[in-house]
Homo-oligomer: A and B are copies of this chain.
Amino acid sequence: MQGAARQSLNGGAERGAAGVSANVDGSTLDGKGPLFGQIKRAVAGQILRGRWQAGERLPNEEQLSSLYGVSRQTVHKAIALLAREGFLVRRRRAGTFVASVRHDRFALPIEDIGDVITRNGGVYEFRILDRKTLRNGEGLRWPDVPDGTPLLSLDCLHLGDGAPIQYERRLVNLDAVPEVADEPFDSVAPSRWLVDQVPWSSAEHTVKAVNATADLAALLGVEPGTACLSIRRQTVHLNRSITLVHFLSVGDRFSLSGSSITDSATELNL
């Protein structure tokens, strides 16, 4: 059907011929989905199968367009996407190269702990252990926020089926989110509330492993020294620091898992 669509799109004859010449070279399009996607798969396939080696230079857009029998823009779109996904590196005038270093990242979901517990069929609760307002620099300091800024400090415990899973220590910038001062957090957890209130944001994360202190161990109901996953997150919105939060989770009750960021291979069905 897609093939048929293409036929009707561009009066068969010419592009049909071009298609044939492409096949000669072993660069066949599979006819599934949009043309640019077919080009992506074709090119990615060459790379994944090692026919185009790392560092090697690809034919230029002009050549690829005649090779596959499509317009340069269509090739451009496909190649530009592959470049954006990290498969290729492009340099003007120099050409397009198979990326040599996989600047690989893996993606871990940032999820509300409540969602995770609920999704896994558990019963989620949270408790606010402590709540106070203070000014930055008095007793503690949040480096990325000016001294004297009013802050809301929250200590919170998240439980799944009654068992403590995660301890949360949070600071919220009251200059940036003054409404938070009036929120009792008796039904909705702070993290959830913030997600709902502050529409979009970027964040920085650090993940490490720590041994539970005596206090923390008591809260989480484990032996002191138990390994805990520590996730520190700072959220920024419109260049203003919104919240700084530190999650501590019992190692064997909580983990992060995810797949490679470039789901291209999956996407590309290769």
Contacts and interface: CB of A to CB of B under 8 A. Distances in A.
A123 interface: no
Interface in A229-270: 229-230, 233, 236-239, 249, 251-252, 254-266, 270
Contact of A256 (B110, B201, B208, B252): B208
A199 B54 contact: yes
Given A227-B210, A263-B202, A258 B48 contact: no
A188 interface: no
A109 interface: yes
Contact of A257 (B103, B206, B225, B228): B206
A66 B202 CA distance: 31
Interface of A: 44, 47-50, 53-54, 87, 98, 102-110, 195-196, 199-211, 225-230, 233, 236-239, 249, 251-252, 254-266, 270
30 contacts: A48-B200, A48-B237, A50-B199, A104-B203, A105-B107, A106-B107, A106-B203, A107-B107, A107-B261, A108-B108, A200-B265, A201-B260, A202-B262, A202-B264, A202-B265, A205-B256, A205-B259, A205-B260, A206-B256, A207-B207, A207-B255, A208-B251, A208-B254, A208-B255, A209-B210, A209-B229, A211-B225, A225-B225, A236-B265, A239-B270
